[in-house]
């Protein structure tokens, strides 16, 4: 019995509904987690998802910026939307669902990008990002209730050397500075999370999920970063049969700068 989960920073769900439909039709994930939907809850394209068979939807949106949504073919129950850093941004949504007799909590995150200057004394957005990551350290993969956990999303940090096209050249670039990468590694270690993408494709293999819009030829330059992640509690890791990074989606019409990441499980 295969279970398929996908995560995708869509950078405006309304603008990109055509490629979302294309993706869902072809890959048929059981659950899709979206980030940067950039619309209010009432503006979310519910009907389009319903028509594609995704009749269960949890949406936490806001006007113009951020926003996350989790859509599913089978029942999901909203657990909570947490306001990390208490600034009112819609950057987290957790849902509970049952699959093959397991109770699973799924967290969908959109971590702040952090601006350009990696110094919190002159760039408050970087400080916000560091505070957000600090708050994420309390996230536990296993909470003792017997429930398993999955955490996905655009975490806006490429934690490992081979998560970026040039480790040396990006050490002072926001998303790959030591304070950020150490912070995310601490979230993983203290929370007891398994990094499913890296368990499947260990270093030194390069893994990217994002390519800047600013590159002249993103494919040829290939200056990517692994900003999107799929983590789980360790009990689920042995059930992962496949991880796919859909690089081709970066070349689709009017693309997001992020591509979908898909995890397949067999229970």
120 is a contact residue toward DNA (CB under 7 A): no
113 is a contact residue toward DNA (CB under 7 A): yes
Cα–Cα distance for residue pair 170/177, rounded to 1 Å? 7
The values of phi and psi at residue 115, to 5°, are 70, -170
Please pick, from the candidates 1, 26, 88, 214, the single residue that binds DNA as defined by CB under 7 A.
214
Q: Binding pattern to DNA, positions 47-86, x when CB under 7 A?
A: ----------------xxxx--------------------
Q: Burial code of 190-222, b = ≥16 C-beta within 10 A, e = fewer?
A: ebebbbbbbebeeeeeebbbbbeeeeeebeeee
Taking CB under 7 A as the binding criterion, the range among 108-116, 133-141, 193-201, 235-243 that sits at the site for DNA is 108-116
Q: At what angle do helices 124-136 and 178-191 cross, to 10 degrees?
A: 20
15 is a contact residue toward DNA (CB under 7 A): yes
The answer to whether 5 touches 27, Cβ cutoff 8 Å, is no
84 or 265, CB closer to DNA?
84
> What tokens were used for 96?
């509970």
Q: How far is the CB of 168 from DNA (least distance, A)?
A: 15
122 or 266, CB closer to DNA?
122
172 is a contact residue toward DNA (CB under 7 A): no
Cα–Cα distance for residue pair 60/91, rounded to 1 Å? 8
115 is a contact residue toward DNA (CB under 7 A): yes
Q: Which of residues 26-45 bind DNA (CB under 7 A)?
A: 36, 38-39
Cα–Cα distance for residue pair 221/31, rounded to 1 Å? 32
| Residues making contact with DNA (CB under 7 A) | 11-12, 14-15, 36, 38-39, 63-66, 112-115, 125, 156, 213-214, 254
């Amino acid at each position: 019995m295969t279970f398929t989960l996908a995560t995708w920073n869509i950078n405006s769900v309304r603008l990109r509904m055509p490629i979302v439909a294309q993706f869902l039709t072809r890959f048929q994930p059981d659950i899709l987690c979206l980030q940067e939907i950039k619309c209010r809850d009432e503006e979310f394209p519910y009907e389009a998802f319903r028509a594609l068979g995704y009749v269960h939807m949890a949406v936490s949106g806001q006007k113009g910026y951020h926003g996350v949504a989790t859509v599913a073919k089978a029942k999901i129950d909203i657990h909570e939307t947490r306001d990390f850093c208490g600034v009112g941004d819609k950057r987290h949504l957790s849902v509970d669902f049952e699959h093959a007799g397991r109770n699973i909590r799924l967290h969908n995150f959109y971590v702040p990008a952090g601006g350009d200057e990696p110094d919190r004394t002159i760039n408050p957005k970087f400080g916000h990002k560091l505070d957000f990551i600090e708050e994420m350290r309390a996230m536990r993969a296993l909470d003792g209730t017997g429930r398993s956990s999955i955490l996905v999303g655009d975490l806006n940090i490429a934690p490992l050397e081979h998560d970026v096209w040039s480790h040396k050249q990006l050490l002072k670039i926001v998303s790959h500075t030591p304070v950020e990468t150490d912070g995310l590694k601490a979230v993983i270690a203290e929370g007891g999370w398994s990094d499913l993408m890296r368990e499947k494709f260990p270093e030194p293999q390069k893994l990217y999920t994002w390519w800047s819009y600013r590159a002249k030829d993103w494919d040829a330059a290939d200056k990517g970063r692994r900003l999107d992640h799929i983590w789980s509690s360790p009990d689920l890791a042995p059930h992962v049969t496949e991880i796919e990074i859909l690089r081709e989606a970066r070349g689709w019409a009017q693309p997001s700068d992020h591509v979908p990441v898909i995890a397949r499980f067999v229970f």
